[in-house]
Amino acid sequence: MTTFCIGILALAAMHGSVGIVPLIGLGQAQVVCTGGMSIVEPPLQIGTRKQLLVDDYIIAQSSNVTRELGQATKANGGQPLIVADRPWENADLFRLGSVIHDGGRFRMWYQMNDTLFGYAESEDGLQWTKPNLGFYDYEGSRDNNIVDARGFTCLPDAHETDPAHKYKSAYGTDAVMAALAHSPDGFAWTPYNNGNPVTGRAADTINQILWDEEARVYRLYTRTDFGPGGGPGEIRGTRDMTNPDPKDKPANWTTVRNWRFDREGEEEWKRRQVYALNGWLYEGVHFGLLWCYEWPADLSEGGYDTHTRHERDIMNFYILTCRGDEMWDLTWVYAGKPLIARGPSGSFDKDWVQPSLNIVTWQDQHWIYYSGARERHNVYLIREGQTRWQCSIGLATLRLDGFVFLEAKDTPGTVLTRAFVPEGDELEINADASAGSIRVEILDAAGQPVPGCAAVDCDPIVTDSVRHVVTWKGRRRLEGLPSSGVRLRFHMTRAKLYSFRMKV
């Protein structure tokens, strides 16, 4: 049996076809060498879950490939889908809460001004209506779309069995603390904990509760403070907490992460702050949807100007990733690569991009709704009492699994996975090889090619597909794979690999 030392330098050559090459990252080696001894770790149990390539969890080794960030494409020609066009709406503060696809339609909760919250819906996610709901009086009429503020962060709870608790929401109290509520329909809300807060000081922006199926806990995301709450010396941070049963013990939250930006020193808060962080779970990966407040309170670029794009006192949107309760990976923040780029001068989102509470996966794309603004955060300091931010709501879409990908350019590259137990009899990949090619070989856990599944047997992949089933000399069914574990080795030229999975 051949063994492999996955260390800082290399993986030993396998079957004479791959030499010593650098790793993408250390990841979690399945064979480690200590004192001349090899300790073999058991293969991963990944089932048929799709494997995203946002980190090195499934990757053992690579050569001549880079990890790249996807770039979301703005819908509607970069113009907003929803604007403040009702008497009770105010573009000064027109902030997005949650958007879900539920019951065959898109549903949206959003903030309409300093005190009122609204609801909109759509059949296709592009054309939105603001229905007259008849819940609240506005200047003598109930013909409006005003809804309960407690539903601003409404999300359906797939774990819930009681219809009265189908939707859950976290909201801010007058004391700037987080409280929880539930609803059967997203409109009629009943508070947990008798309406009392379930945390200490949280946020004047947004709080969120969601169910984590894998960890079997609820997660609560709030903002927190590392300095005075409010004012020019405010140092914003974020925390997330877990609670297995907030219905029974609504205040029983355990802090998992509580942090602020400080990688560049104690005064990094003058460069960037966490304005808010929402959580989203997808295919076993935790995504942090981060509102990053950059160069806070720096108005050195001049007075009120809704046309010129600014670079200070602005809001950018980045994605973070982690698994379980690990610390977030902040790579894309420090690389200065937002997922949705702010618009150019004259655009509705030139100074501010704030994502929805969650991402909707629909029609083989990820739909990311967001609030955009024409002015900076602290602009009210130079235009007190007048219209400030000029907010609207837009949409950007991303290829399915296209958050982060591995790319090989003109120089051929390889990607070798860690060993995993094969479940399923087909290999499906999400890749764009339309400008080049990809071949896949299947190895046993020791690195020997499985008969009939070598790279030379693989039919070249030369298309762009989110669900390409790999074949070997026309054969797609993989029978008799070693139950002790297999590895995949991707051979790529001018190609992008987004994800893969074993399929039943």
pLDDT digits (tens, 9 = 90+) for 47-58: 999 999 999 999
CA gyration radius, the chain: 25
- 440-499 pLDDT, tens digit per residue, is 999 999 999 999 999 999 999 999 999 999 999 999 999 889 999 999 999 999 999 999
- Whether this model's pTM surpasses 0.85: yes
Question: Which residue in the block uniquely carries the two structure tokens 């990820």?
Answer: 366
CA distance 97 to 16: 55
Count other C-beta atoms under 10 Å from residue 197's C-beta: 19
Q: Which pLDDT score is estimated for 321?
A: 98
Structural domains for the chain: 31-67+410-503 (2.60.120), 73-399 (2.115.10.20)
pLDDT in tens, the chain (504 residues): 333 333 333 333 333 333 323 333 333 334 543 344 344 679 999 999 999 999 999 999 999 999 999 989 999 999 999 999 999 999 888 899 999 999 899 999 999 998 999 999 999 999 999 999 999 999 999 999 999 999 999 999 999 999 999 999 999 888 889 999 999 999 999 999 999 999 988 767 899 999 999 999 999 999 998 877 666 678 999 999 999 999 999 999 999 999 999 999 999 999 999 999 999 999 999 999 999 999 999 999 998 999 999 999 999 999 999 999 999 999 999 999 999 999 999 999 999 999 999 999 999 999 999 999 999 998 877 665 566 889 999 999 999 999 999 999 999 999 999 999 999 999 999 999 999 999 999 999 999 999 999 999 999 999 999 999 999 999 999 988 999 999 999 999 999 999 999 999
Q: Which of 151, 146, 108 is nearest to 127 (CA)?
A: 108
Question: Which residue in the block uniquely carries the two structure tokens 């009120």?
Answer: 304
CA distance 293 to 275: 6
Tokens of 186: 């997203």
> CB-based burial of residue 206 (10 Å sphere; 0-12 exposed, 13-18 middle, 19+ buried)?
buried
The answer to whether 5 and 11 have CB atoms below 8 angstroms apart is: yes
Q: Which pLDDT score is estimated for 228?
A: 73
The answer to whether 215 and 324 have CB atoms below 8 angstroms apart is: yes
The residues, ordered by sequence, that sit 6+ positions from 263 with a Cβ below 8 Å of its Cβ are: 330, 334
Q: Which pLDDT score is estimated for 201?
A: 80
The answer to whether 153 and 209 have CB atoms below 8 angstroms apart is: yes
Q: Which pLDDT score is estimated for 230?
A: 67
Longest CA span, the chain: 82
The answer to whether 376 and 313 have CB atoms below 8 angstroms apart is: yes
Residue type, 290: L
Terminal alpha carbon distance of the chain = 30
User: At 466, phi and psi to the nearest 5?
Assistant: -85, -10
CA dihedral 75, 371, 298, 233 (to 10 degrees): -150
Q: Which of 106, 143, 154, 110 is nearest to 127 (CA)?
A: 106
DSSP H or E segment with residue 63: strand 59-63
Q: Which of 171, 154, 49 is nearest to 106 (CA)?
A: 154
CA distance 431 to 401: 10
The answer to whether 375 and 305 have CB atoms below 8 angstroms apart is: yes
> CB-based burial of residue 346 (10 Å sphere; 0-12 exposed, 13-18 middle, 19+ buried)?
exposed
Q: Which pLDDT score is estimated for 16?
A: 32
CA distance 378 to 473: 62
User: At 35, phi and psi to the nearest 5?
Assistant: 55, 35
Q: Which of 332, 316, 294 is nearest to 371 (CA)?
A: 316
Long-range pairs, 381-384, Cβ under 8 A, ≥24: 381/297, 381/299, 382/299, 382/303, 382/304, 383/303, 383/304
Q: Which pLDDT score is estimated for 225?
A: 87
The answer to whether 423 and 393 have CB atoms below 8 angstroms apart is: no
Task: Indicate the length of the chain as a whole number.
Answer: 504
Q: Which pLDDT score is estimated for 234?
A: 86
Tokens of 223: 């903002």
Q: Which pLDDT score is estimated for 387?
A: 64
Q: Which pLDDT score is estimated for 380?
A: 76
CA 220, 225, 230, 235 dihedral sign is negative
